[in-house]
């Protein structure tokens, strides 16, 4: 009679899986380096905005030349007052820098936690306390981000809306239900993963 482990060995390619985890670990490390640079860049953007004079650089939407089609659409849907409203670069840099820093910080923590999980799996400790705790942290990180990151997006939108004299432009705060859903989904999957590890341990002890 074939054992359970024999059946698993035939259906699971351990070598390919280990290679995949190693590659994922390297990608996570590269991601952390890139995100660290991006975070420093966002802080530089914020500091530049903080110290430059208010009227150093101003622009209007009518001065923007993205493409002929885009410019025509702007002219069709926006009033002349909106098109000619002066927008200061200072406010955009401050609010944009903060928003970018918050989003990059979220991504950095996510990659860091994923790297911890990959390292544990690579060391053949997928059910370790550190791996489980890291996965739970990722789940709660997504849920928290669904509440917190929209605050920064609201700040950025508000800085733009305050400079455009139009009743059609408004800044509203809204939860990021996508991130919250992903967080709860990860929570459920980690619970199933933990339960599977428990059943595996019980089976091995029984045998």
pLDDT digits (tens, 9 = 90+) for 113-132: 999 999 998 888 888 888 89
- CA-CA distance, 126 to 170, in Å (whole number)? 48
Burial of residue 55 (number of CB atoms within 10 Å: 0-12, 13-18, 19+): exposed
pTM of the entire structure?
0.79
pLDDT digits (tens, 9 = 90+) for 61-120: 565 555 554 455 555 555 565 666 667 778 888 999 999 999 999 999 999 999 999 999
CB 57 within 8 A of CB 93: no
């Amino acid at each position: 009679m074939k054992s359970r482990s024999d059946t698993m060995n035939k259906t699971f390619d351990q070598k390919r899986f280990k290679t995949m985890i190693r590659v994922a670990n390297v990608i996570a490390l590269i991601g952390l380096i890139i995100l660290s640079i991006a975070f420093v860049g966002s802080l530089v953007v914020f500091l530049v905005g903080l110290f430059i004079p208010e009227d150093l650089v101003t622009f209007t939407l009518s001065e923007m030349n993205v493409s002929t089609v885009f410019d025509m659409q702007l002219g069709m849907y926006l009033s002349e007052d909106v098109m000619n409203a002066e927008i200061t670069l200072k406010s955009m840099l401050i609010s944009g820098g903060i928003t970018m820093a918050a989003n990059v910080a979220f991504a950095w923590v996510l990659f860091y936690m994923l790297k911890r999980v990959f390292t544990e799996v690579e060391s053949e400790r997928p059910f370790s306390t550190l791996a489980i705790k890291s996965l739970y942290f990722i789940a709660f990180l997504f849920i928290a981000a669904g509440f917190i990151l929209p605050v920064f997006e609201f700040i950025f939108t508000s800085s733009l809306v305050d400079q455009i004299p139009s009743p059609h432009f408004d800044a509203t705060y809204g939860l990021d239900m996508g991130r919250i859903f992903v967080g709860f989904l990860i929570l459920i999957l980690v619970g199933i993963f933990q339960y599977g590890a428990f059943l595996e341990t019980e089976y091995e002890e029984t045998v």
